[in-house]
Structure 1
Amino acid sequence: MFGFGEPTYDPVKDIPDLTGKVAIVTGANSGIGYQTAQQLVNHGAKVYLAGRNESKVLVAIEQMQKENQTLRGKNMANFLHLDLSEPKGVKAAADAFMAKESRLDILVNNAAAMNMGHFILDIGLTDTMMSNYIGPWIFTTSLLPLMKKTAADPLADVRIVNVASQVHSIVPVDAKLDSVDDLNQAFAEGAATAGLLVRLKRYGLEKLCEILFTTELQRRLDEESVPITCISLHPGMLATGAMKEWWIYYLLKVFGDTPLQAAKCSLFAATSPVVKEKRDEYKGKFLMPVDKITPPLCPQGRDEELAKRLWLLTETVVNNIFEKGVAQ
């Protein structure tokens, strides 16, 4: 198998009782996100499946209820409208959630996008940088007040899990993240922007941003003495729809992880008692499946000063978008 799933970790058996906890999983209508949400629900958490296509999410919820009849009529799995490509909509989704719930224990930023070309939105950012990094940044920081309130309970165990990728390892060593142009870098020109390698480099850059975001968010929370645990990770190897045009999709269909196997790292990061027991070891770290604390795989990912600069750049970009309608 190409998957990295640790055979001794079994989410079905090893996830503790989550009764009373509230969670959000983005991109949860299929694949890793669906399995993550399903296991959280099955172990007692109230889970919001966040996505932009309500009909697909409702189908996913119906499937969960078919597979676990005890869920019917309990509102344990719920739809939350979230379109990560629209900044104001992202903020509205967070506000809508906070209007419904008085706590948030687990946030799993799982959703991801990879498009053919290099498309700049009207706000001045590429569509995938918006969906894969800026959108999750807005969503997470908008939810932080409620997560901090939840974490104030001495019995709480609040976690933010950012599903990144080992693809960040192919980001060129000279790639920078100090300006909007750096966020939008294409790594190619013209028709070549649709090439497999440059698309992977852009995806890797976006996932690198998520890793750096995790690092700096943890530093800031620690500075405030807020006991929220932030973890970024590479999930298992799963054939997804975004890969269908590539030969590796068919290879992974045969030899890769099942969706549940691929979700093990996310579930470990979100729920394992080991993370709570050894919080100082896990907080702010990058995991390879299932529980392997690993230094980020490119030099930029290990640069704490870059993480600080990226946070400040992101704040400026987001403020500009909300105030002026454009990133710069």
Structure 2
Amino acid sequence: MTSFMPDTLNPATLLSKRFRPDQIPDLSGRVALVTGGSAGIGYWDVAALAQHGAKVHFVSANPDHGRQAETDLNTALEQSGSKGSIVYHQLDMGNLKKVDSWVKKFAQQEKRLDILIANAGIGQAPWGLTDDGLERHFEVNNLAHYVIVLRLLDLMKETAATAKPATVRIVMQSSEMHRFAPSGISFASKEEINEKGDGVQLYGRTKLGLIVFARELACRKLAEGNPILAISVHPGTVDTDVQKAWGQSYGALGSVIDKLGRLVGKSAEEGAEASLWAAVSTDINQSNWKEYQGKYYTEPYGKADQETNQAKDQAVADNFWKLCSDLTEELLGERLN
């Protein structure tokens, strides 16, 4: 007998369009990389891609969490009979030289890369500087992904030359929290980025950065050749460990916000649906992929171009790209643009 009850009573999920696991195509032979894959949304991105046959690499800063996730997920794959596999890599994304060294080795060792999900990030935590002397939200959430993506573009272009058209994709895990970015943000300088600020605004600024990064990547690097899709998404209000940052930044009030978010938010598994849709949905294909290129979506199958005017500002986007390029030259001795 068919049930007419929903598979969840979560209000955040019920109000969203869904991309369910049974909509994921066979991914056998395909290779994916997910940053921040040991917990939360990234964990479920890794699990779903591998369950459908992909070889999935993921990075995480904490080796204990990363190895445990790798063991648990591979055990589940073996028990289910899936042909997918999962490989963990320890990586501190707050150290750009380590990021660059790791990603160059990865590009040499892997023969293809079909999917890259830029998921890792610091949440609404207090302001702080990395060992590189950069505001930590910006370096981890934005600059490290800039280096990873640009270093892997050649490998992804090689993959796109033989892959089914429009199946090679780069997904930025953005958020509607980009609306909380400071109103005067311009990404004009290192000094601006390093100014002390509110945790929510610092986090929101990086989510805005991922929206403009996807768009500029599409325009600057992916306009020619075999199709590679760059897209940014909002996962919804999700109950993950990132929520703990509310308490770190705002004390008792933040703890209340954290608890409310966990009460009404999606599960991490449900939150992964948006990035999985962007990464593998066959509804995005050779005939229509240009309609999605560089766009920001607030939910699977949603309406594009709903980001703030600030996120649409070309001057902001140009500054973001130039700042990332300048900082890679400063820290790595090389421009990647």
Q: Name the TM-score, length of structure 2 as normaliser.
A: 0.86
Per the alignment, residue 220 of structure 2 pairs with: 220
Are the counterparts in 1 of residues 27 and 53 from structure 2 also a CA contact under 8 Å?
A: yes
CA distance in 2, matches of 1:116, 1:238: 16
Cα deviation for residue 6 of structure 1 reads 6.8
CA distance in 1, matches of 2:276, 2:223: 27
Are the counterparts in 1 of residues 50 and 77 from structure 2 also a CA contact under 8 Å?
A: no
Are the counterparts in 2 of residues 158 and 229 from structure 1 also a CA contact under 8 Å?
A: yes
What runs of 5+ residues in structure 1 fail to find an aligned partner?
A: 188-197
Matched to 1:11, the amino acid is R
Identity percentage of aligned residues: 30
Name which of 23, 28, 46 aligns with 1:37.
46
C-alpha RMSD over aligned residues = 2.2
Give runs of aligned pairs for residues 67-216 of structure 1, distance below 5 A. Answer: 67-70=76-79, 76-114=85-123, 116-153=125-162, 155-156=164-165, 157-187=167-197, 198-216=198-216
Matched to 1:228, the amino acid is I
Compared with structure 1, are the counterparts of its residues 65 and 5 closer, same or farther at alpha carbon in structure 2 (3 Å cutoff)?
farther
Per the alignment, residue 279 of structure 1 pairs with: 289
Cα deviation for residue 272 of structure 1 reads 0.1
- Any idea what SS the aligned residue of 2:229 has? strand
Are the counterparts in 2 of residues 105 and 147 from structure 1 also a CA contact under 8 Å?
A: yes
Per the alignment, residue 298 of structure 1 pairs with: 308
Deviations 1:117-165 (A, max 9, x none): 3222343311121111111111111111101111122525210001011
Cα deviation for residue 226 of structure 1 reads 4.3
Give runs of aligned pairs for residues 11-26 of structure 1, distance below 5 A. Answer: 11-26=20-35
Are the counterparts in 2 of residues 4 and 290 from structure 1 also a CA contact under 8 Å?
A: no
Matched pairs, number: 314
Are the counterparts in 2 of residues 151 and 227 from structure 1 also a CA contact under 8 Å?
A: yes
More displaced 10-residue stretch of structure 1: 293-302 or 16-25: 293-302
CA distance in 1, matches of 2:142, 2:240: 19
CA distance in 2, matches of 1:313, 1:149: 28
Cα deviation for residue 92 of structure 1 reads 1.7
CA distance in 2, matches of 1:68, 1:254: 30
Deviations 1:208-238 (A, max 9, x none): 1111111100001343334110011111221
- Any idea what SS the aligned residue of 1:186 has? coil
- Any idea what SS the aligned residue of 1:13 has? helix
More displaced 10-residue stretch of structure 1: 310-319 or 103-112: 310-319
Q: Name the TM-score, length of structure 1 as normaliser.
A: 0.88
Are the counterparts in 2 of residues 238 and 259 from structure 1 also a CA contact under 8 Å?
A: yes
CA distance in 2, matches of 1:73, 1:166: 34
Compared with structure 1, are the counterparts of its residues 240 and 318 closer, same or farther at alpha carbon in structure 2 (3 Å cutoff)?
same
- 1:229 matched to 2:239? The reply is no
Are the counterparts in 2 of residues 24 and 49 from structure 1 also a CA contact under 8 Å?
A: yes
CA distance in 2, matches of 1:6, 1:281: 24
Per the alignment, residue 190 of structure 1 pairs with: none
Cα deviation for residue 110 of structure 1 reads 0.5
Cα deviation for residue 116 of structure 1 reads 4.0
